[in-house]
Structure 1
């Protein structure tokens, strides 16, 4: 059972990548089926707005697909369920698929739903920046900040201890 964790990761990555390719094929085939059979959709918008999800899909294929050498696992690939940037890339892919299906069902105006992605990214960057700024503001060591923190600055453990009546903290 050598490298059991790597073998598990390789199997999971292979399943995720295969499922991703099938879903992408199905979504885009559905769009083209509607486009050619029922009514015309904007293919330029489809290409421009599908390009990010296709690039992300190929990037996942490159970093996540396990490689084997004579039946032995050579490389398991990166974890495709990782937090952070990988998670954000999955969100972009899912949103792209949703917009493609929406554009196929509703029409060309549905492509404007893709504008949510840059708006959400901007909001996320803004809240991260303001949160970091508030966190750094407390590092100034001002005397008035320490006095105003009082009981609101205690941890949950300290609050429980005081509530039970044991080991009371004295604040100066």
Structure 2
């Protein structure tokens, strides 16, 4: 049972990377098959350029996930390094969002044509929105959606009752 968390994370990462690889291969193959066989007349250099331009971030992210998330095993089969957690919050979570959104855009572009790549523009707009709300939260002292400042430290019920009665007030420094 030694290093159970490391083994669990390694197995989870390996499974997730394998699923992502298969999904990437299938989605890109569907794009190429539909564009080459069904919509052959609308497959131009411009279409190829748009495909390369908009699928490159997803492919880069996939290679990054493979590089940082792949577990390393020793010669005896033990886990040397489990890799970074691919379920982490923050940037990793955003990178998964980019991957899944790009999958959808590739499928839409394969079926609907080149104008469907405009859906890919949602990601930068979403990034700007997240950056703006984070900036406003830091600048405004972390208020909620209605603009009401959040208390720094909540008082206990006992403490609130004592302060309400006027007895033994707490001095905050």
Partner in structure 1 of residue 124 of structure 2: 118
1:104-160, CA deviations, whole angstroms, 9 ceiling, x for partnerless residues? 1111100011111111101111111011100189xxxxxxxxxxx8xx9597766xx
Q: Which one of the candidate residues 59, 64, 79 is aligned to 1:59?
A: 64
1:69-118, CA deviations, whole angstroms, 9 ceiling, x for partnerless residues? 11121110000000001001101111111100111111110001111111
Q: 1:29 to 1:136 in 2, by over 3 A?
A: closer
Partner in structure 2 of residue 128 of structure 1: 134
Larger % of helix: which?
1
Output the TM-score relative to the length of structure 1. Answer: 0.81
Partner in structure 2 of residue 44 of structure 1: 49
CA distance in 2, matches of 1:38, 1:154: 61
Count, aligned residues: 154
User: What's the offset of the Cα at 1:4?
Assistant: 0.6
1:24-74, CA deviations, whole angstroms, 9 ceiling, x for partnerless residues? 001100000110111134111011100000000000000000011111211
Partner in structure 2 of residue 85 of structure 1: 91
Partner in structure 2 of residue 10 of structure 1: 10
Q: 1:111 to 1:136 in 2, by over 3 A?
A: closer
What SS class does the counterpart of residue 87 from structure 2 fall into?
coil
CA distance in 2, matches of 1:136, 1:104: 43
Q: CA RMSD in A?
A: 2.5
Q: Which one of the candidate residues 102, 106, 110 is aligned to 1:104?
A: 110
